[in-house]
Structure 1
Amino acid sequence: MKHQILNIASSNDIVQLNLDSFAKLEQAELLARFLLNSNHINKNEFIIAVSCIADLLYNVMAQAKL
């Protein structure tokens, strides 16, 4: 399953991501939506969530070698 490729059409190109990278992008989006919709979040929880988002996006970028 690690070697499966998913084609994603963007405005100009087709970007190829493996399913692991796509899952990480989905997790980052979920965390970002959680942050935007949360009313009762403290500073520590905010920092942890932002760090997780950054780590997920960094891993996708590093894997894609951008």
Structure 2
Amino acid sequence: MSTERPIQLNWFKSSYSGDEGGECVEVAADRAAIRVRDSKNHGGSRLAFTRDAWTGFVTDLGRDRSR
């Protein structure tokens, strides 16, 4: 049995997310990864990205928006 405590994550929504519902994600960072979850299903599946992978993803999003 593990005696480690679960990591307390501070989740936040994008500043583009409104209060109308819709499809939003929340993001949290810890030492090991950047984590992403559905804002309406906190207990559901989560994705985890290395910091390098997340940086590449966000950089590519910025490139797509400038086209």
Same fold (TM over 0.5): no
Q: TM-score range by the shorter chain?
A: 0.3 to 0.5
Which structure has the highest helix share of the two?
1
User: Taking CA–CA contacts closer than 8 Å with sequence separation of 6 or more, which of the two structures ends up with the larger relative contact order?
Assistant: 1
